[in-house]
Amino acid sequence: MLLELIVFLLLVVALALGWWMGRREKRRRLPPPGSLPQLSQDYFTGLNYLLNEQPDAAINTFVRALEVNSETIETHIALGNLFRSRGESDRAVRVHQNLFARPSLTKEQSERVQLELARDFMAAGLLDRAERLLIELVEQNGKLALESRLLLVDLFEREKEWYKAIHTLTNELFRHKPPLRRAAAHYACELAAESLQQRHFSAARKQLKQAFAFDSGCVRSTLLMAQLELYSGNPKAAIRLLLRIPEQDANYIPTMLQTLVDAYQQLNKPQELVETLEKLLERHPFTSVLLCLAETLCQQNQHQLALEKMDYHMRHQVSLRGVDYLIDLYLHQAAGAERTHLLTLHNLTQQLLSHKPEHQCQSCGFQSQQLYWQCPKCRQWGSIQPIKGVEGE
Ligand SMILES: [Zn+2]
């Protein structure tokens, strides 16, 4: 609060200085009978607000009273930006719109104000108005074209207009901001996921190739390509793709397991699934892999083997989900009082597990049960991963 007040005061001083210089300039050119009393009145009203600790009212008075000239334009822009950063986007719009209407602005100044106005509209949620201003700036191809294009990509991302976002990207933009490649791959993945859902396989394949071209390390595009192969009746190709994921990023192994199981089911090779899972578990001892292995063994009526595997791995790396599943396996063999005790324990582990987040953003710490490819909090792509440790993997 104190910092904001200081910034406000500094801006007010800057505005007042701009006014004073403007007045002095005017006086040199044209002696000012008449106009001074009105401005002076506003000036002192503003000062009065300041002294009464009403900086907002003071700013309003100064903005209304002070003329825009070459000395004050930067301050007016900064003032609008300050309003926006305080969450007062409607006031930011007023300040910047007031500036934008001035015919005396140079082309460069006008573009700057237009860009800030687009930012204000975005902050106010008026995305269509922001879009119009940004497209104009991009088409004008002036000094701020690159910055405007970047903001336009961000806007299309917010609107989930993935196709438009991709077509706004340029190589120059990628050079300017390399992490955009990762985002671009996810835009293409979003389109591919939609195409897969509608069973438009050839469109999905094209979109996934585009995702690979943007970012060859994109795990999501590998997973979607594997799903595409599976839906197209090529389970072997799906498995080959899925087994690349541990090399791309082992953190996403839990995410690929269901597709792996589905692929081996389509092949009707349950024993090969067991072998693949055992190999995976050796190198990547995730609880999800262990549970998937135990579940596969149980489906083949190998309860005892599943129990031994669980017991062995839990001794080396214990996890809450593992213990819960182990109790479940013991329950199949138990009877009488032993069964009652195990049921009590099972209820407790279930309670501990309920509503436990399974994923966490590596960038901002946001936690969720489901996997989001874009963090809903910090909006980073591919930053959410399964939680590890006793309470996770
Ligand atoms: Zn985040």
- Residue-wise pLDDT tens digits, 265-298: 999 999 999 999 999 999 998 999 999 999 999 9
* Cβ contact 365:351 at 8 Å: no
Q: How far is the CA of 191 from the centre of ligand 1 (A)?
A: 22
How remote is the CA of residue 287 from the centroid of ligand 1, in Å?
Answer: 24
| pLDDT at residue 9 greater than cutoff 90 | no
Residues 6+ away with beta carbon under 8 Å from 119: 81, 84, 130, 151
| Separation of alpha carbons 136 and 130, rounded Å | 10
Binding region for Fe cation: 361, 364, 375, 378
Burial string for 7-33 (b: 16+ CB within 10 Å, else e) reads: bbeebbebbbebbeebbeeeeeeeeee
- Reference 207, options 223, 189, 230; nearest CA is 189
Mean per-residue pLDDT, 148-160: 97
Where does residue 120 rank: exposed (0-12), middle (13-18), buried (19+ CB within 10 A)?
buried
In the chain, where the domains are located? 357-393
Distance from residue 360's CA to the centre of ligand 1 (Å): 8
Cα(173)–Cα(130) distance, rounded to whole angstroms? Answer: 20
pLDDT band at residue 10 using 50, 70 and 90 as cut-offs: low
pLDDT confidence of residue 336: 86
Mean of the per-residue pLDDT values of the chain: 86
* 375 CA from centroid of ligand 1 (Å): 5
Tokens representing residue 31 in the block: 């002696």
pLDDT, residue 334, reads: 81
Buried b (16+ CB within 10 A) or exposed e, 164-182: bbbebbeeebeeeeeebbb
Separation of CA 313 and ligand 1 centre (Å) = 32
For 98-148, the pLDDT digits (tens) are 888 888 888 999 999 999 999 999 999 999 999 999 999 999 999 999 999
Which residues are documented as binding site? 361, 364, 375, 378
For residue 385, give the H/E element and its range. Answer: strand 384-386
- Model confidence pLDDT, tens digit, residues 164-179: 999 999 999 999 999 9
pLDDT value of residue 6: 57
Nearest to 329 by CA among 302, 303, 350, 297: 303
For residue 156, the CA-to-ligand 1 centroid distance in Å is 19
Calculate mean pLDDT across residues 324-336.
85
How many other CB atoms are there within 10 angstroms of residue 360's CB atom?
Answer: 19
pLDDT greater than 50 at residue 35: no
| pLDDT at 76 exceeding the cut of 90 | no
CA 361–ligand 1 middle distance (angstroms)? 5
CB count in 10 Å sphere of residue 350: 12
Alpha carbon of residue 48 to chain centroid = 44
Residue 157 has pLDDT above 60, yes or no: yes
User: Could you tell me the distance, in angstroms and rounded to a whole number, from the CA of residue 76 to the centre of ligand 1?
Assistant: 33
Distance 28 CA to ligand 1 centre (A): 57
141 C-alpha to ligand 1 centroid (Å): 33
Rg from Cα positions in the chain: 31
Look at residue 382 and give its three-state secondary structure.
coil
Query: Phi and psi for 360 in degrees, rounded to 5?
Result: -145, 140
**Distance from residue 371's CA to the centre of ligand 1 (Å):** 12
What's the gap in Å between 119 CA and the centre of ligand 1?
22
Residues 82 and 46 sit within 8 Å (Cβ to Cβ) = no
What separation in Å is there between the alpha carbon of 386 and the centre of ligand 1?
A: 13
Q: How far is the CA of 381 from the centre of ligand 1 (A)?
A: 9
| The pLDDT value given to residue 33 | 43
332: left (phi over 0), alpha (psi -120 to 50) or beta: alpha
Q: Tell me which H or E stretch contains 359.
A: strand 359-361
| pLDDT over threshold 50, residue 34 | no
What whole-number distance in Å separates Cα of residue 393 and Cα of residue 317?
10
- Asked if the model's pLDDT at residue 156 lies above 60, the reply is yes
